[in-house]
Structure 1
């Protein structure tokens, strides 16, 4: 890059796995879009042996961590030789360490293994832990993601229009930087027998039209601010997790927001968010509450939102 960037770095976790390599490539692509660099973070296990060999083991751990980071740097250089890159190695609990190092970052990126890899440093629980407490957006990159697989489509899921303003602003920004179409999805479904009552008493499409009317003025403001972004409104009568998984197929990015609980950085990821972080076929970005509103309720994140067999 040329002049020093004023945008905070993108932090990407690496453990030397193929999942981490995908995360690095995603982070580099995003860094190129927003004009910043990447900071590669490796967290070594906090291991204290009960033998006098502690100094030697520590030396070996440092060598392993250094090798993993240098391999990550090589991935960055191969993807974008002009991308600024820094490396950090720490020892300790993985999620907490990443959160500490990324406190002022632009974005956190972690890779996802297909079925979970024995001995992996960045596990599913790490992803959920980081997504649930990060002070910046966090992206989980799926196992089949490829840097050249551009579909020109970003999906954002909404539940409460009254709290959607800044979430939509984020989604429009992401779509614009990618030159992508933005799909604004609102899925709704009541629990079992209640949903059947609504279906029996309502005219087909009545609820969908009502929700579209609620969404349209919210989206219109951002349309004016981002005239180059093509927008599609989609209201579906379906379990939110299922609807979002379907919409994520062929998307470049799925944008969610987590629910705030109490203090500004205390949050909860429920069934829908966990399901999508685990199963979505495209990268999933989880936006923290402070990016939207103090008590945002973006997507359905309660337990009832998880995909049922």
Structure 2
């Protein structure tokens, strides 16, 4: 059955049968939002001077890539019971660049986080972070151990400060509404011990939490007005943000984080908290884009 929404869900696939969790999530996402699914595989043209054994020609790499895509398309059709339009794309070039290019015409890009050796972890992390930092649509990272049958009926969004991130909240409220789930908005902050002692010498932790929660609730009024049926839970924790988000992700179906409004020198748009959450979260994580950051 063909869908009518123009922008597809894109899932990046590296090898045959290797990204089952990402593929399952992408199929569910496409069906949930009435979109088509695009399965993408990218390969590099190996310079002929490299001592690769056996040396692969571009044609052989294309053939291998096509095998990967055909297998993924069959798996997607099986997961969707054939009720989803699945297309494939074989791209030559950097995986990050090809996924970034696809993100310009996509609703969502889905990638999988798997357990790797140290060297593989560096490469895989560079792909995940590289795409999440610069994609023009939300990027969802799904852990290999994700269980789609474990449903908590909760969406979680992390907010760095009371100056709320518009794109992250747009995505979080939309997902909570679509999933018929509650939304937990979490702001966590902690200072080094000596500074924490100074802060709470002037005010109590309970007072700080109560006043901060009130500020956040007021700033969320534009969203609560648009999504009155989404149950909202605003939480303020004196804790390291990454630790708090990872811990609470075990009780959520979906976690939304933002990226920097003003990238650091060199174009780094992902902060340390977002990178840590992408590595460790217990549920799928969406990085919301900042659409005017280019």
TM-score by length of 2: 0.89
Partner of 2:190: 189
CA distance in 2, matches of 1:18, 1:185: 36
1:6 aligns with 2:22: no
Conserved 8 A contact 1:15-1:122: no
- 1:249–1:118 Cα change, 3 Å: same
| Structure 2 equivalent of residue 35 of structure 1 | 34
Q: For the structure 1 residues 120 and 65, does the alpha-carbon distance in structure 2 shift closer, same or farther, using more than 3 Å as the test?
A: farther
1:96 offset after TM fit, Å? 1.0
Deviant stretches of 4+, over 4 Å: 53-56, 116-122
Q: Could you say what secondary structure the match of 1:60 adopts?
A: helix
Counterpart in the other structure of 1:140: 141
- Give yes or no for contact 1:42–1:88 (8 Å, CA) kept in 2: yes
Q: CA deviation at 1:161?
A: 2.7
Residues 115 and 121 of structure 2 are in contact (CA less than 8 Å); yes or no, is this contact kept in structure 1? no
Q: CA distance change for structure 1 residues 107 and 48 in 2, over 3 Å: closer, same or farther?
A: same
Query: Match of 1:8, SS?
Result: strand
What do the CA deviations read for 1:144-176 (whole angstroms, capped 9, x no partner)?
102222221110011233333443222110111
2:234 aligned partner = 233
* SS in structure 1 of the partner of residue 5 of structure 2: coil
- Relative to structure 1, the CA distance from residue 137 to residue 259 in structure 2 (aligned partners, 3 Å threshold; closer, same or farther) is same
Using the TM superposition, give the Cα deviation of residue 215 of structure 1 relative to its aligned residue in structure 2, in angstroms. 1.0
Q: What is the CA–CA distance in structure 1 between the aligned matches of 2:159 and 2:263, rounded to whole Å?
A: 21
Question: Which stretch has the larger CA shift, 109-118 or 131-140?
Answer: 109-118
- d(CA) in 2 for partners of 1:98, 1:40: 11
Deviation at 1:120, TM superposition (A): 8.7
**2:63 alignment counterpart:** 63
CA contact (8 A) 1:161 1:214 kept: yes
Deviation per CA, 1:108-151, whole angstroms, max 9, x where unpaired?
11001123587699711100000111111101101210222222
Q: Distance in 2 between matches of 1:231 and 1:252?
A: 15
Q: Does the CA contact (< 8 Å) of 1:16 and 1:71 recur in 2?
A: no
Structure 1 116/12 Cα, relative in aligned 2: closer, same or farther at 3 Å? farther
- Structure 2 Cα separation of the partners of residues 77 and 117 of structure 1: 34
Aligned mates of 1:67, 1:146 — CA distance in 2: 27
Q: Measured at CA, do residues 235 and 162 of structure 1 come closer, stay the same or move farther in structure 2, by a change above 3 Å?
A: same
Are the counterparts in 2 of residues 110 and 122 from structure 1 also a CA contact under 8 Å? no
Moved more, 111-120 or 219-228: 111-120
Gapped regions of structure 2 (runs ≥ 5) = none
CA contact (8 A) 1:13 1:41 kept: yes
Could you state the TM-score of these two structures normalised by the residue count of structure 1? 0.85
Tell me the equivalent position of 1:217. 218
**Aligned counterpart, 1:163:** 164
Identify unmatched segments of 5+ residues in structure 1.
296-309
Asked if the contact 1:137/1:287 (under 8 Å) is kept, the reply is: yes
Which piece of structure 1 moves more, 271-280 or 54-63?
A: 54-63
